Structure 1
Amino acid sequence: MFDFEKPKIEIAEISEDNMFGRFVVEPLERGYGTTLGNSLRRIMLSSLPGSAVSQIKIDGVVHE
């Protein structure tokens, strides 16, 4: 069987206005830092307010 060490999550710093926080997660197996970082990045990007083009239609052009 695999012998994994359970990571410890520590709150290193939180700003007074609760708009910033620094967390430490260690130890991680090789490659898990990138996986965790990409997941957090995608979650944070999806939470940003904004606008984007989702559809466009041009007269005279055949669309699927």
Structure 2
Amino acid sequence: MNMQMQMPEKIQVEELGSPYHSRFVLAPLEEGYGVTIGNAFRRVLVSSIPGAAIVGVKLSEVLHEFQTVPGVVED
């Protein structure tokens, strides 16, 4: 059994033209880790920045809000 966890090879923060918008890129991730990291990141941001909230997520190759994404499940 392989116990090695795949670590992200790409980690970057991109500022998107305003002090209120940024993009955080981590890739590739082990299956299921996107949800784990996303939830932890959301909780830290929500509790640490007064008056701030995550209001949207944009996924490349997802064309509309009702499209299914392989490997992504709702909780």
Shift of 1:2: 1.7
Unpaired runs of 5+ residues, structure 2, are 52-75
Letter of the structure 1 residue corresponding to residue 26 of structure 2: V
Alpha-carbon distance in 2 for matches of 1:28, 1:35: 11
Which amino acid is the alignment partner of residue 24 of structure 2?
A: F
Q: What is the alpha-carbon distance in structure 2 between the residues aligned to residue 4 and residue 33 of structure 1?
A: 14
Q: Return the offset for 1:45.
A: 1.0
* Aligned-residue RMSD, C-alpha: 2.1
Q: How many angstroms does 1:32 deviate by?
A: 0.5
Deviations 1:15-53 (A, max 9, x none): 344332112101111111000011011111112437xxx
Give the total of aligned pairs.
49
Higher normalized strand content (fraction of residues): 1
